Amino acid sequence: MTNCQIRFLETTDIHNHSVMLSPAQSKGFFQDFNDFNGIGFAPNPIIGQLDSNVWSVKGLSDGDLDFGEMGTTGDFAREVSSGGVSSGGVYAFEFSTGDRI
């Protein structure tokens, strides 16, 4: 498993909604970002999206995304980048093949 650090612009908060975990999972929340392609948030996500029932986003220029809402364009879906971005938003960063956050 690759450890990663996620950083956000100073005015942006991304929140993880509390989820019910089984005793085997109760050591903390785990999100595998390898299938995340930065194509947004949805309550019933397709591959490449994050589940908006679990994540909310506050403080982007395109507005806020509350739990359960759809956000598949603009700041909510900046797609895959290898770094060096200059626009705010939610990206999937891939620094080497298979190493995506």
pTM: 0.69
Per the model's pLDDT, the better-predicted residue between 87 and 24 turns out to be 87
The answer to whether residue 73 scores a pLDDT higher than 90 is yes
Could you give the percent of the chain with pLDDT greater than 70?
A: 66
Query: What average pLDDT score do residues 34-39 get?
Result: 89
Q: Taking the CA atoms of 45, 51, 56 and 61 in sequence, report the sign of the dihedral they define.
A: negative
The answer to whether residue 5 scores a pLDDT higher than 60 is no
Residue whose pair of structure tokens reads 């908006």 in the numeric block: 52
